[in-house]
Amino acid sequence: MSAVSAGSVLSAIDPDEFEVVPVGITRQGRWLLTDGDPSELAIRGRQFPEITDGAGTEVALPAGSGGRIVALDPAQGAAALADVDVVLPVLHGAYGEDGTIQGLLEMAGLPYVGAGVFASAACMDKEFTKKLMAADGLPVGEYAVLRTGQSLTEADMARLGLPVFVKPSRAGSSVGITRVDDWAQLPAAVATAREIDSKVLVEAAFTGVREIECGVLEGEYGGEPEASLPAEVHIDSRHSWYDLEAKYLDEPELDIPPRLPEHVVDEIRRTACRAFTALDCAGLARVDFFVTPELDVVVNEINTMPGFTAASAFPKMWARSGLDYPKLVSRLIRTALHRRAEHG
């Protein structure tokens, strides 16, 4: 999924304003300087693209390098290759949104787009996302946390009811998530989630809710965060919930703005900015909501590096709000550079 988003960003970025140094990462963790061809990063035949060995020159970003990327040649050793002013880490899920890459960039002394180490880690871990939002008075749904060796208690089952969603606490893009409609299905669902993360979240499902997303951008030049027009997600009838295929392979229909009373739309936008601030986010985020039949607004989760594909809601919401894709990318980069200039 990260490669697809990166391809879309490469297509949208203004070459007259920015010189791109396209670095891809293989599944084995090798960094490769690629040719940055967006067509190589497109979905084909319902298969996601990925960076593989041979796609480019292996590179590294040493700590304290000040942004200098080093090429690794087995025969000749390391050699300076390029200087980078700012990084746009289009990486979803583990190592990309959990504070790992952010910590590396901090050690390298490089400014980067998006949330810092703490906010990235807190937003990636759904348990602590919910705890921090609840502490700030934001509405969140009922849930239970299962750590290693723990099982759901009868009291939790009675409190949560059915159905529930079982998911890894620290994962993205709907990976490892199972809908449970019968408690007999719970052990298998927990086992699936634990293949990805030892800590598992069991969330109460809402009945008859509408799924709403809202984009947030850090205010320019130190201003307050700004929220886009929200979008309501309509899932293809082939899917019972918003899973990985529904998000990326079967483009969802979006209503931007959603067909909701104006005061509810305003509440969603205000709450999105509150959540962004409560989690100490920076740069950008997508805040996901449920709106109940009674028009109550509940925060589901925050994504600090939302999808940037052609089908993704985040760029579409901002385009409908007056900020097209190329200008959105430019703003994100300028904001990161300004933040570094202001705070060092």
Q: What is the pLDDT of residues 86-111, one digit of tens each?
A: 999 999 988 999 999 999 999 988 99
Which residues line the annotated binding site for Mg(2+)? 288, 301, 303
With beta carbons less than 8 A apart as the criterion, state whether 67 and 110 touch: yes
Please provide the distance, in angstroms rounded to a whole number, between the alpha carbons at the two ends of the chain: 32
With beta carbons less than 8 A apart as the criterion, state whether 55 and 61 touch: no
Q: Please indicate whether residue 299 or residue 2 has the higher confidence score (pLDDT).
A: 299
**Domains within the chain, CATH numbers bracketed:** 2-92 (no CATH), 120-140+207-343 (3.30.470.20), 143-204 (3.30.1490.20)
Q: What is the pLDDT of residues 124-136, one digit of tens each?
A: 999 999 999 999 9
Which residues line the annotated binding site? 126, 165-167, 173-174, 203-211, 288, 300-301, 303
pLDDT score of 44: 78
Q: Is 233 left (phi over 0), alpha (psi -120 to 50) or beta?
A: beta
* Residue 240: burial class (beta carbons within 10 Å; 0-12, 13-18, 19+): exposed
**In whole angstroms, what is the distance from residue 88 CA to residue 114 CA?**
8
- Asked if pLDDT for residue 187 goes beyond 60, the answer is yes
Q: What is the pLDDT of residues 251-267, one digit of tens each?
A: 779 999 999 999 999 99
pLDDT score of 190: 97
Give the strands of the sheet with 57-60, arranged side by side: 23-25, 31-33, 57-60, 68-73, 77-83
Q: Please indicate whether residue 17 or residue 250 has the higher confidence score (pLDDT).
A: 17
- Confidence tier at 166 by pLDDT (50, 70, 90): very high
- Confidence tier at 178 by pLDDT (50, 70, 90): very high
What is the DSSP-derived secondary structure letter of residue 44? B
Cα 220 to chain centroid distance, Å, stands at: 21
The two beta strands, 23-25 and 143-146, are unpaired
The winner for highest mean pLDDT among 240-244, 296-300, 338-342 is 296-300
- Confidence tier at 17 by pLDDT (50, 70, 90): very high
**In whole angstroms, what is the distance from residue 298 CA to residue 292 CA?**
8
Local structure of 258: helix, strand or coil: coil
Provide the total of helices (H) and of strands (E) in the chain, helices listed first. 10, 15
In angstroms, what CA-CA distances link 91 with 6, 106, 293, 301?
A: 8, 16, 35, 18
pTM here? 0.92
Which residues line the annotated binding site for ATP? 126, 165-167, 173-174, 203-211, 300-301
> Which tokens go with 28?
């084995």
